[in-house]
Structure 1
Amino acid sequence: MFLLIISTLLSFLSVHTKIITNPVMHWMNRVSKEEKTKLNEIKALQCAQQKLSMVDNFVEYSKIQRKINKLTESLKESKSRNSNDFFLKIGIPYGLRIIIISMLIILCLYYRGSPLFYLESSINLFPFGYFISFPNGRNSVSFHFWVMCCTAFARLIKL
């Protein structure tokens, strides 16, 4: 029973790795306290700048604009230093998928000779019986077939 649950979960996770990777990516790309304070300062300066008339108070307006530009540049620099976006966006989903698929391959090799579960003797799977229970006896479901069915079913489901 344990093997049935593990194989089903791994099959579904191999197709839908975004269930795990999306929260991880969201957590890794969260905004730091420094960036939040800089964003709040930029918003406050922009509000103050909107209250001023550009024609009447050009000096104050341009000083505020220089402060805004300076803050946005420092924000861009901090984001570029902290971001390994390419490696994170590619590495985490595909790395997780490689780990899950390699676990499935190891389980397939280890349990290739043992059936996952048996069907009743009254059930006759005549044309497909050999394929369903390939290395095992009659009326049994092999690990390989179960993983293929679960993976195909998971691809049909859009999460």
Structure 2
Amino acid sequence: MLEIINGFLVVYFVILCTLSAIVPILVKPIAACFSRPSSKERSILTELIKLKAEQQKISMKDEFAAYSKLQRKINKLDSELKENSQSRLSKSLAIKGSINIILQVVVALIIIISVIWFRREPIVALNSNLFPFSTMLRYPSDMPNAISTHVWVVISNVSIRSLLKPILS
């Protein structure tokens, strides 16, 4: 029923369409490399943990002044840590969006250039005639009952995204 004419292009376009579908998954680890906590944040966090441990050793009833002083320091460091983490979070969101757009554009350009480059190459030949669709499926190839790269990319893209939808969601 189906004869693969150009196996390399079949695999090539399936890989490109799969890459296009999994770009959102690839963005997270790439963006994580750019938005790690700074050394200042880590030092604030260690100091905060140290102060909380020190505060737990102090009795609130017996040494209220020392306990309150530590609590003010803890509150100050906690608010500073929250500000830093909020700015890091907004930076992380901007980085994720930028990386996602860049990767999608790169993959889309590769697919478009490849489709233009291999536009006359038939990918798959069908044994049966699918009149009236055979002309649309083979365009711009001249081989009868063939599937062109344009149609193969659309079929691959829709199929792969449908298959990966449960995984990506």
Out of 5, 9, 16, the residue aligned to residue 3 of structure 1 is 9
The structural deviation recorded for 1:79 is 4.0
Structure 2, unaligned runs of 5 or more: 1-6
Aligned residue runs from structure 1 range 9-20, under 5 A: 9-20=15-26
Structure 1 residue 109 corresponds to structure 2 residue 116 = yes
Write the distance in 2 (CA, Å) between the matches of 1:92 and 1:22.
9
Using the alignment, how far apart are the partners of 1:89 and 1:24 within structure 2? 8
Identity %: 32
Q: State how 1:8-157 maps to structure 2 within 5 Å.
A: 8-79=14-85, 84-115=91-122, 117-119=123-125, 123-127=127-131, 128-136=133-141, 137-156=143-162, 157=164
CA-to-aligned-CA distance 1:105-140 (integer Å, 9 cap, x gap) = 12222221222x3436xx114243323222111132
Q: Distance in 2 between matches of 1:74 and 1:65?
A: 14
TM-score with structure 1 length normalisation? Answer: 0.81
- Could you say what the CA RMSD is over the residues aligned between the two structures, in angstroms? 2.4
Shift of 1:80: 5.4
Letter in 2 for 1:13: L
- Uncovered stretches (5+) of structure 1, i.e. residues with no partner: none
Q: Paired residues, what number?
A: 156
Give the Cα–Cα distance (whole angstroms) in 2 for the partners of residues 77 and 19 of structure 1: 28
CA distance in 2: counterparts of 1:78 and 1:126, whole angstroms: 62
Q: Distance in 1 between matches of 2:114 and 2:121?
A: 11
